[in-house]
Structure 1
Amino acid sequence: MPPTAPALDTVVYVANAGDGTIGSYRLDRSADQLIPLATTEAADNVMPLAVSPDRQYLYAAVRSDPLRVLSYRIEASSGELTPLGSGALYGSMAYIATDRAGRYLLAASYGGDLVSVSPIDANGVAGDATQTLGTGSRAHAIQTTPDNHHVLATNLGDDQLAQFYFADGALAPNEPAVAETATGSGPRHFVFSPNGRFVYVLGEFDATVTTFALDADSGTLSRVGVCQGLPEGHGLAPGMPREEIPDGDDTPRIWAADLHVTPDGRYLYLSERTGSTLSTLRANPDSGELHFVGTRPTVTQPRGFGIDPVGRYLVAAGELSDHLSLYRIEAASGKLSHVNDVATGRKTNWVEIVSFEQP
């Protein structure tokens, strides 16, 4: 009898903006390896990605004309992506996410200073955006709260998070309408603690992580504390929007990018692109307090990374790297141990990890 293929448990999807493709890889836990599966045609400048809550669909925003979101069915038996359709987006979207029920796609546009909502039909296809709402300067990330009744969105240019009511697929400003971060931090990506009590916000320009307590009833935030995400003596100047850096100014500046938390809520990781590093923070799930643990080199210009749903592995992608790097997360310490590299496409910028048998 011919040998049987290993069971397909976990698949890693990455957006290759330079190739206009989405790469897929099987995460082989027994061998600590990423194994290439397929390359799916998408469109020029494809980024970012999002996965539906039921893990049946993947969505990819296209940041070249025509601006749109592509919908794919995830084939659980093979990890293959089957194209289903597309819907119009009225801005170049830096971030997309589904709501907690998988009925709507939320998007944030950095260049357009706006957020939008698109309906997702019964076949998993995200249609044309039905609401486009102006928000603060340089919107960068957007997500619903765990109860799906409110929405938060970062405004990197205003050092704030916009707070919205969310009902029947529509956004409306909450009261108060914003929560503020420190001046000059540049809030970029954020994650909810697994217990839903806290929101951790990454500052692009200072590599700090700000902890906010989330009031579940009102959907509003109150600041708890701030933790440094880089070691003392890191040698980088404070960051600023790339489009505002004067010609000829090659000062090495902080340029933090992505943030994720382990499923047990005990560790956070952030990426910084100028130094091409990953930092580890230890979290107290009960208080939201964070402590810097350490940093390590990684792929070149790490714009995106992901943690598998079991919390054992981290996959990092670099926009100027020709490979992905796979790290094992040591449960007792949060330490990242490099175990594998695998070739990827050009300008890889986003990572989504889908486990078909989640704990």
Structure 2
Amino acid sequence: MLRNILFNCLFLFLSVTATFAQDKQLFYVGTFTDEGAEGINYCSLDTKTGAIELLTTFKGIDNPSFLRLGPEKKFMYSVSRTTPEVEPTGGYVVAYKLDDHGGLHFLNKQVSNGSGPCHIDVSPDRKYVAIATYGGGTTSIYPVKEDGSLEKALTVVHNNGSSVHPNQTQPHAHSIKFSSTEPSIFSADLGTDQLNIFHFQDGNLGRYEQEFVKLPAGSGPRHFAFHPTEEVIYVINELNSTISAVRKNGDTWSVFQNISTLPKDFDGESYCADIHFSKDGQYLYGSNRGHNSIAVFKVKPDEKLTFLGTVPVEGDWPRNFGITPNGEWMLVANQRSHNITVFKINTETGMPKFSGKQIALPAPVCIEFL
């Protein structure tokens, strides 16, 4: 009798624990320490209520703004922007190992080979890390050792050029991503209005016959998202608040649509930042800093976008946002209002709705789900 009672108690405990784990989505928040933050925040989202809890903060790294987990979720990498007095190149790329509880343990760091490192990605085979630097206009490739630490950069590319906007007097590499379907790396350069295309092999960056896709003058490409087929790329443009849709035809990439992220009656100042797909790939979202909203688009069968409207972010300066792996929640990192706001996504209409939940955190600028 006692044995059965103990067994039932153990079963109930394990069931409750499993349910609790299923109701929690863990995530990391990259921040700007020179705007009041202390490091990388580790948080939990209740996927039933939308409530966020700060679990801990990993300190000791300057401005760990953009974060990227490796494919196996065993290692994480961040960019770190510093002053020239600390590091003449202007920053680092940093490697961490994750423990079984999501804790971060510093492995090593390498110089960023350009000031203002702002974006990072990990290759699908986790053998390489790539970063982009805004101030230096460089892209760099770092081999990853078996223990997750980084070797010195194997390849560094210095972009060249400028464009028509006052913020485009020099190159500003603002994002970088590995393709999962071909040996290519793409990088958006805000300063030159180009989506650069690199051939990638054995850690080396080369050039295809088509070196880049030229976007509208003064647009300022910032981030981009691959369509699920990876035959179309959607680039969000910071300086003119648009999204450019780029399609591959044969061996050539070209723009086939430019669409605004703002309502027609808005006449204020606004700058786009981040871009993400819904889980099912039917909707695309972009953030507007200034208008302080999330723009919502329907992706049509021909891959063109239809503007559905905007949703206020309940904060100021939405630099980054993320959609939970289950596709049900959107978290918006509002840099200037120092908060993360939580939205429930209507999976039938694609529209996010503010849940009423938020958390105060200094200078949040990146969301990375575990």
Interval containing the TM-score (normalised by the shorter chain): 0.7 to 0.9
Give the whole-Å Cα distance in 2 for the aligned partners of 1:51 and 1:287. 32
Alignment deviations for residues 55-114 of structure 1 (CA, whole Å, 9 cap, x no partner): 222111100133212222233x42222222222221231111111211111111111111
Aligned to 2:106: 83
Report the Cα offset of residue 310 of structure 1. Answer: 2.0
Aligned to 1:309: 325
Query: Gaps (5+ residues) in structure 1?
Result: 237-252, 355-359
State the SS of the aligned residue for 2:107: strand
Question: Which amino acid is 1:85 matched to?
Answer: N
Question: Which amino acid is 2:21 matched to?
Answer: A
Question: Which amino acid is 2:108 matched to?
Answer: G
Aligned to 1:28: 46
TM-score (norm 2): 0.85
Alignment deviations for residues 160-185 of structure 1 (CA, whole Å, 9 cap, x no partner): 11111000011012211111111111
Aligned to 1:182: 216
* 1:7 aligns to 2:30 (yes or no): no
Q: What is the correspondence of 1:216-295 to structure 2 with a 5 Å cutoff?
A: 218=251, 220-236=252-268, 253-284=269-300, 286-295=301-310
Question: Which amino acid is 2:261 matched to?
Answer: G
Contact 2:52 2:359 in 1 (8 A): no
Give the whole-Å Cα distance in 1 for the aligned partners of 2:173 and 2:248. 20
Query: Gaps (5+ residues) in structure 2?
Result: 1-8, 161-170
Aligned to 2:189: 155
Q: What is the correspondence of 1:105-124 to structure 2 with a 5 Å cutoff?
A: 105-124=129-148
Aligned to 1:208: 242
* 1:134 aligns to 2:158 (yes or no): yes
State the SS of the aligned residue for 1:300: coil
Tell me: higher relative CO, structure 1 or 2? Use CA pairs within 8 A at least 6 residues apart: 1
Give the whole-Å Cα distance in 1 for the aligned partners of 2:247 and 2:141. 25
Give the whole-Å Cα distance in 2 for the aligned partners of 1:156 and 1:68. 21
More helix by share: 2
Q: What is the correspondence of 1:46-61 to structure 2 with a 5 Å cutoff?
A: 46-61=64-79
Aligned to 1:248: none
Question: Which amino acid is 2:351 matched to?
Answer: K
Contact 1:280 1:292 in 2 (8 A): yes
Report the Cα offset of residue 340 of structure 1. Answer: 4.5
Contact 1:22 1:42 in 2 (8 A): no
* 1:38 aligns to 2:59 (yes or no): no
Give the whole-Å Cα distance in 2 for the aligned partners of 1:265 and 1:303. 22
State the SS of the aligned residue for 1:7: helix
Percent identity (aligned)? 26
Q: 4+ residue stretches of structure 1 with deviation over 4 A? A: 1-5
Contact 1:34 1:340 in 2 (8 A): no
Report the Cα offset of residue 119 of structure 1. Answer: 1.0
Give the whole-Å Cα distance in 1 for the aligned partners of 2:94 and 2:191. 28
Alignment deviations for residues 181-213 of structure 1 (CA, whole Å, 9 cap, x no partner): 111111110010122221000010121111111
Report the Cα offset of residue 14 of structure 1. Answer: 0.7
State the SS of the aligned residue for 1:47: coil
Aligned to 2:122: 98
Q: CA RMSD in A?
A: 1.9
Give the whole-Å Cα distance in 2 for the aligned partners of 1:79 and 1:326. 22
Give the whole-Å Cα distance in 1 for the aligned partners of 2:60 and 2:289. 25
